[in-house]
Every structure is written in structure tokens, then in C-alpha cells.
Structure 1
Amino acid sequence: MTINSYGNTADDTGAFLNTEKRQARRYLQKITSIATFGGLLFGFDTGVINGALLYMKDDLGLTPMTEGLVTSSLLIGAMLGALVGGRVSDLQGRRRNILYLAVVFFIGALACALAPNFNVMITARFILGLAVGGASVVVPAYLAEMSPSNIRGRIITRNELMIVTGQFLAFTTNALLGNLFGDLDGVWRWMLALATLPAVALWFGMLYMPESPRWLATKGRFKEALEVLKLVREEYYAKEEIAAITRQISNEKFVKSGGWRDLSKKGARRVMLIGIGIAVTSQLTGVNSIMYFGTQILTEAGLAQSSALIANVVNGVISIAATFIGIYLLDRVGRRPMMLLGFAGTTLSLLMIGLVSTWFEPSVTRAMLILGAMAFFLASMQGLIGPSLWVMLAEIFPMRIRGGCMGMAIAGLWLTNVMIGLFFPTLVATIGIGQTFFVFAGAGVLSLIFVAVWVPETRGSTLEEIEHRLYD
């Protein structure tokens, strides 16, 4: 038996280190569980319109164009929320920004549920979108800056899991409320009001969470940053990591760049364009045409309204199961191979939906074939593209302006989403469902080429190593 320099036996030291590691991992899991309520709200508030529209359109007198406006008003808010939220998180901190967003989530959801007419509804949806866009930037950045490199992918992807869980909960509650109380006036208001509950949980939970250690370090608060790192790492690794962060911040080139001036560098511009490209191509698959209008697609394909609501829950189940697989693969396979395989799968699914819609008349058979293609699409999107997307956007940008850069990229994501949400109903009414999905399939081919040519691999590297490799 050996005695170490602390006067403990080797067995005692090993037990102490294992206990320290378990405590750090438990605290990191606690932070992840609370922060990802932002992802749950993101998913619920974007998914709940799929189903609520069926009842809302009669009460509010919606046309195909105004249906698109109700859907896209949230997305327009999300685009602005991503830009503003990312910048605010750089200035005031990730934790404080999430607290602000919880309040906006609550106010927006309540206003949507109480909206008396179309004008109030699109205003309330816009406000709610500000929170959705802000959360889509700040939560992944917060998790990335809290996580050790060897499990960073799994931690950030927990937010993706909560997004699809939120969508699943929206689909499930829509189906339950629609089938049990669909004959009652205003059932859609209860569908929308449920989103206030996780907003309250997010606000109370974040009151007790620490600030991002990397954000603290960029403000010169190195001692506080080390104390936070010691909560989520063993002490040795916390000290090693704060030393690396300090070197990065103290680097003469980094200081000289002065934050936003980093974007004047050729390498920085290239990475910025890659980030925007990753975000935009993920939406060009047409994923949100399925997430927002899936129930209507199935009813027009031949299912009864009640059956379509229940069938759409299957999409939520598949999304959750696929995300678990994505979490498992992300730190084992890598980001880039998963994106390539994912775009291949989504493009094939879109072709299937287009062909089935063209070849078959409305019937249960057509609806079931489309549902199967949707399931394959969502397995590829949520299990392969989605996890890679959010992790890479949280990894590739420089520390001092990570929130702002993510905001710019994710604003591109929401702008693409706006165009799809706004024009999808009109496009389907003009050229038909089959031709519409052929357009998405063509965009999928272009997305596959983009990833193959431009997107780098980031698996296994620290955030500081990634920054050094991509920017120097």
C-alpha cells in the first residue's frame, strides 16, 4: 500500500477522486436538466400549432394565407430573438438571459391562449417567438461552455432531446384535448396555455444555476469562473481548463481583435458562412412543413381529423427515439458523417412523399404511406441532422462573441423557417403537395453537397482547440 503526498493511501485517493467525479457529473446533469426546459418550450411552442390550427382557424376566421401568418409570426419573432438574444447573452451572461427568456415565454404563451382575434394572435405569437429564438441560441451556448469536451456532444444534444420532447408533448396534448373536448368552443386555447407551466419551471430553476465559466472569464472574473468549473469538473481538470481559457483570452491576437473585429479575418468569415449554411440547410429539408402542418397533410391525404391527430403523435415518438440514438452516436461517430447520412435520409423521404402524393388518390393507404415517409424523415432529421446542427453551432464560433455569432447563424435558420411557414400552405394550394415536396428534395441534394464540401469535423476537441484550428 502506498501513501500519497496528501497522507492518504492510494485506495483512499482513488475513492476521493471517484466521489469528486460523481459529484461533478451529478451537478452538470442538474444544470443540463434545468437549462433544457428552454428547449422543451422551444419544441412545445413550435409544435403546438400543428393541431391547434385545426380548431383555431374557424374561431379566428383564418384563410390559407392568414394560417401561414399565424405560423410564421412566431418564426419572425424567433429570427429577431436569435439576433438580439445572442448579443444580450454576450453582454449580460447566459444565465441572466435565460431568466429573461422564461418570463417572455410565459407572457407570450398566455397572450396566445387569450387572443380574441387574428391581430392579437399574430402579435402574441411574435412575442413568443422572441423567446423561442433566444432560447435556440443561449441554451446550447450555455451547455457547451459548461461541458467537458469528451461528453460535450451528449450534453448539448440533451437540448435537442428536450426540443423533440416538447413537440411530442404538444402533439400528445393536442390529440387528447382534440379527441376528448374537440366539440367545445376554444379547445385550442387550452392547447396553447399549457406552455406556461414549463416557463415557470425554467425561471425558478435558473435562479439557482451558476453563470457560464467561459462568459465569466471573458469579463475578467477568472476566480468565479474557476469556482464554477470546480462544480462540474474534478478540481485538477478545472484548474487545467481555466489555465487554457486564460491563455486563450490573454493571447495577443485575441485581445487585439477586440471581439466583433474577429469577423474581419478571412478564416472567421469562412466559419461564419459555414455556420449560417449549416443552419439554413437544416431547414431547407422542409422539416417544419411536417412539424407545423403534419396533421393537415394527413387529413388531406385521407385520414379523419381525429385519426390524423393521433397519427401525428407517432411522429413525436419517433423523433424522441431518434434523438436518443443521435445522443449515443454523436461523440462516437462524429458530427460531419451524421449530417451527411441525415441529409441523404431526409432527401429520400421527401422524394417518397412527393411520389406517393402524385401517384395515389386521397385514401387511408395514401395517408399511411405518407406517415411512413414522415417517420423515416424524422428519424433522419432528429437522429442525425438535429443533434449535429446544434452541437456544431455551439462549438465553431469564438468564445468572446459566441452568442452573437450563433445568433446570426440561427437567425438564418429562422428566416428560412419563416419562408416555409408563411408560404407552405399557399404553395401546396398552387402546385400541389407532391410538387412541393419535390422542391424540398431538390434543396436536400444541394444541402448534401454543401456539407460534403464545406463542413469540418469538431468531435473530440476542446472549444479552445476548435477556435485555434478554425481561426488561426
Structure 2
Amino acid sequence: MSSIGSAPGKPEVARADTPGQLTGAVVIVALVSAVSGMLYGYDTGIISGALLQITKDFGIAESWKQVIAASILLGAVVGALTCSSLSERRGRKGTLVMLAVVFVVGALWCALSPNPVVLSLGRLVLGFAVGGATQTAPMYVAELAPPKYRGRLVLCFQIAIGVGIVIATIVGASEAIPWRWSIGVAAVPAAIMLALLLRLPESPRWLVKQDRRDDATEVLSRVRPSGYDVEDELDEMAQLAREEKTAATRGWSGLREKWVRPAVILGCGIAVFTQLSGIEMIIYYSPTILTDNGFSTSVALDVSVALGVSYLVAQLVGLTIIDRVGRRRLTLIMIPGAALSLFVLGWLFVSGHSGRDSVPFIIACLVVFMLFNAGGLQLMGWLTGSETYPLAVRPAGTAAQSAVLWGTNLLITLTLLTLISGIGVGSSMWLYGLFNVAAWLFVYFRMPDLTGRSLEEIEGKLSDGTFRPSDFAR
């Protein structure tokens, strides 16, 4: 972003040196938006433990388990794609309000389902809200946050996913709460989110695009430090909005433009590898995998809690250090640890060391994987989409990235149990370990370090053709 000073012809005003100071208003926006991330983590994670109860209640086989687990992901693909145009027409806030309503309806639908068909349809509806939120919430926060804190504020969404997963695993491990109650209770935070969203401002960048500069001025004055002159920031937004309206590079067709392509490759590539790294395999199916290999149900559910807590702890640590260490460096440091843990885990199963005596080693490998994966690559999944794409194609770009992420997740969820039945647990772990190696190579060659860069500066790098990792070295 250009340096901020008094606009030509305007008197100096007392204000912060930069727009980088964090205000309570921006924090509140990030926290309320993060509730949708918590719902994502809870609604996807609760199926891990609930599936054991659902299997008994409905008497379903392996194929139905995969369909019930995956239906929310199909809905997420549809939600991610649909909410791209919705966020452009209704605004970022308006879209999130609509999604909060869908979260409530979807949770209650699932809780009241009389059979696996209706349950799968309910999770499809719930998935629409999950996918739409992952497309809209990070973009909403990124467009309100100062560059200095954008990474950490957007990652509040990611941290909230971890909180949702932990809560879901604890609820599942209790075994005392019927699955209908454990799924339906998600309607409560969704209703709270809806009530709070009605009091939040719209994205100033979206308001400027709608020729509502006065409204954008009011919003920026609310979310920037007292005394800060918002005019320079608004001028920069307005200039980009004018360029967007006259540019050939717009919307979905703009994603095919040569100068935008590096952002699309980075965003969609990261989306694919966050899923191929094995995180969803562990979250969704770890109790099923462990019980199928001789673990008791109580032990398997306790392990899922430990994994959920490990996920959250790693995310919190990553949140505190990411802007100091840098997105690229942190990811490159963490991926090898995740890969190694999967290779060791695969060896334990392939070599026959998966019995009672090896339980501590299996659990250790799972926890180590979760720490390295959640504290590195997973942090990048939603952050890259919120800050990489140019303004004119940002809704389409984030929608495409979310759809790719959820589509990959859907493919994994629909095939994992079948894959394990075909090649075994150990070989499956090795395959996902190799995916982590591929992820490291992708990050090394394709991912610049965007830490501390304004959205406008990142767009400038793309338009200049200087979006390689070496071009962002400080």
C-alpha cells in the first residue's frame, strides 16, 4: 500500500504513522467471522465420533459411511462456487448473514433426520454454508484488516476451525451425548453469529466498488485508529475499483489471464496439497481406522481428542509466529516433519508393529503429524486465497480455490476407506507421505512470501510479472 500521509492540499492531522495499528472494531469483525470457521470445524469434525453411533442406529455399511461423511463436502463445493457471485451482489457481510441462516437450518435438518438419505441431504445443505463461509469470511476480514495484522486476523478463521474440531472430538469421545444432539447443537453458535453479524460493517473495498464512498469512509473511520486520515487508503481503493471496471481482466474469465495465472496456480495448488497432506484423513477417519485395527472405541475416541487439541495448539503457535517467521519459511520448515511422521506410521503398520505394544508409537506419530501439518501447511489454505488474487477477480479466485480444496477433500473422503481396504493402512500412509514431499516442492518453487505486503502491492507484483519467490525477497 502506498505510504500514508496527508493528501495534497489537505492540512496535516494528528494520527497514527501507519494504518497498521489494530483496533477493537477489526478484532470483533475477525472474531465474529471466525465463528463460521468454528462451525466448519465442528460440523465436519463431529461426524468422526458420531459416525460410530450412526452406524449402529441406521445399520449402514462402509459405502454409506463414506457418503454421509462426504455429502457435506459436496455441498461445500457448491457453496464455494455460488457464494462468489453472491458476495459480489450482496456484499461480503450480506453473504455471511445468509450463510448463518443456512448453518442453523442445516444443523437442525441433520439432527432430525430419520434415515441416512435425509441425513446426507441435510449435510449437503450444511456443506453449502461451510463452503460459502470459507470463500467469504477470510476475504471479508482481509479487506477490513491493516496489512501488518492481516495474516493473523485472517488466521483467526483457521484457529476457529481448530476450536470447532476440538469441541467436536470432546463431544464425540464422551459417548454419552446422542449423535442427534451433538449435531443439532451447532445451531446455537450459528444463531449467535447471525445476531452479531447484523451489527458489523460491510467491506469498505466492496462499498467503493459499488460507488458508495461515503459509506466506505464511515466504515474505515470505525475500524482504523482514532485520528487516522482514511482518504489516502480510500483513494487507493477507488483507483483499483476504477481500473477494475475498465479492465478486460474481470470475474471468472479474468482467471485465465496470463498475469493472473501465477495467483491461480498458487492458490489452487495450496488448496490441493492442504488436503492431500492427509489432514482430513486423520480428522474424519482416525477412530474408524483405529477401531478397525484392534483399538477399543474409547481409546480411538480419546486419540481423536488428542489430535484435535494438537491441531489447535499448533495453529495457535503458528498464529503467533507466522508474521515474524514468514509464511513461506514456516511452511517449508513444517512440511518435512509431517511427511516423516506418515512414513514412520506407515512402516509400523506394514512391518506388523501395529499391535498393543506399539500403541504409544502409533499415537505419537499421529500427534506429531498433526502438530507439523496444522502448524504449517494448513495455515496457508485460506490465507493465500484471501490475499493473493487481484481485486477484480478476488471473489472468483477465492471461490475457485475453495471449490478445488473441497473437491479434493470430497475425493479423499469418498475413496479413503476403499483405498485402505485395497492397499492397507501402511501403504496408504506412505502415499500421503509422498504427497507431503510434493507439497514441499510446490511451496519451494511456487510460493512467494507475502508477509506484510498490502493487497495492492501483491496485485502490483502480479501485474508486473514479478510474482516469483525470489521477487519477494527482502
Residue 70 (1) aligns with residue 81 (2): no
Q: Deviations over 1:137-176 (max 9, x none)?
A: 1110011011000011110111111001000000011112
Deviations along 1:256-313, whole A, 9 cap, x unmatched?
A: 2262243342111232122111111111112101010111223234431112212211
Secondary structure of 2:199's match? coil
CA distance in 2, matches of 1:335, 1:454: 13
Q: Does 1:364 align with 2:356?
A: yes
2:200 to 193, 205, 209: 209
Matched, 1:340 2:338: no
Indicate if the aligned counterparts of 1:51 and 1:174 stay in contact, CA closer than 8 A: yes
Secondary structure of the residue aligned to 1:378 is helix
Structure 1 residue aligned with 2:120, among 119, 122, 128? 122
Q: Equivalent residues in 2 for 1:264-303 (5 A)? A: 264-303=256-295
SS at match of 2:255: helix
SS in 2 for 1:435: helix
d(CA) in 2 for partners of 1:115, 1:368? 38
Residue 437 of structure 1 aligns to which amino acid in structure 2? M
Q: 1:194 to 1:440 in 2, by over 3 A?
A: same
Select 2:419's aligned residue among 427, 433, 451: 427
Contact 1:322 1:383 survives alignment (8 Å): yes
Q: How does 1:13-412 map to 2 (within 5 A)?
A: 25-176=23-174, 178=175, 180=176, 187-234=178-225, 235-236=227-228, 238-251=230-243, 255-257=246-248, 259-260=250-251, 261-412=253-404
1:221 alignment partner AA: R
1:374-431 per-residue CA deviation (whole Å, 9 max, x = no partner) reads 1111111211112222211110111133122101011011111001110111111221
Q: Distance in 1 between matches of 2:456 and 2:339?
A: 35
Deviation at 1:363, TM superposition (A): 2.8
- Structure 1: which amino acid aligns with 2:202? E
Counterparts in 2 of 1:105 and 1:365: CA distance versus 1, 3 Å: farther
Q: 1:365 to 1:105 in 2, by over 3 A?
A: farther
Residue type of the partner of 2:35? Answer: F
Q: After superposition, give the CA deviation of every residue in 1:18-43 in whole Å (9 maximum; x if it has no partner).
A: 9x998x61111111111111001010
Counterpart residue identity of residue 321, structure 1: V
Match of 1:4 in 2: none
Q: 2:406 is paired with a residue of what secondary structure?
A: helix
AA paired with 1:27?
A: A
More helix per residue: 1
- The residue type paired with residue 57 of structure 2 is D
Inter-partner Cα distance in structure 2 for 1:279 and 1:374: 22
CA distance in 1 between counterparts of 2:20 and 2:340 reads 44
Deviations along 1:174-225, whole A, 9 cap, x unmatched? 112x0x35xxxxx211121121111111111101011011111111112211
Aligned-pair identity in percent equals 33
Distance between the aligned counterparts of 1:141 and 1:117, measured in 2? 37
TM-score by length of 1: 0.91
Provide Cα deviations, 1:78-97, integer angstroms capped at 9, x if missing partner. Answer: 11111111221122111011
Question: Bigger CA drift: 385-394 or 31-40?
Answer: 385-394
C-alpha offsets along residues 336-371 of structure 1, whole Å, 9 cap, x if unaligned?
A: 112222322221121122111122354333332222
TM-score normalised by L of structure 2: 0.90
Q: Take 2:68 and 2:292, find their aligned partners in 1: how far apart are those partners?
A: 20
* SS of corresponding position for 1:48: helix
Contact 2:71 2:120 survives alignment (8 Å): yes
Q: How far apart in 1 are the matches of 2:283 and 2:246?
A: 44
Gaps of 5+ in 1: 1-12, 182-186
Supply the distance in 2 between the matched residues of 1:403 and 1:256 (Cα, whole angstroms).
Answer: 16
The CA distance in 1 between the partners of 2:51 and 2:440, in whole Å, is 33
Query: d(CA) in 1 for partners of 2:374 and 2:41?
Result: 12
The unaligned stretches of length 5 or more in structure 2 are: 1-12, 465-474
Mapped to 1, the partners of 2:254 and 2:363 lie a distance apart of 46
> RMSD of aligned C-alpha atoms?
2.0
Seen in structure 2, the aligned counterparts of structure 1 residues 359 and 406 have a Cα distance that, compared at 3 Å, is same
Q: Following TM superposition, by how much is the alpha carbon of 1:134 offset from its aligned partner in structure 2, in angstroms? A: 0.5
Q: Which stretch of structure 1 is more off in the superposition, 146-155 or 449-458?
A: 449-458
Which residue of structure 2 lines up, in the alignment, with residue 6 of structure 1? Answer: none
Q: Take 1:283 and 1:109, find their aligned partners in 2: how far apart are those partners?
A: 24
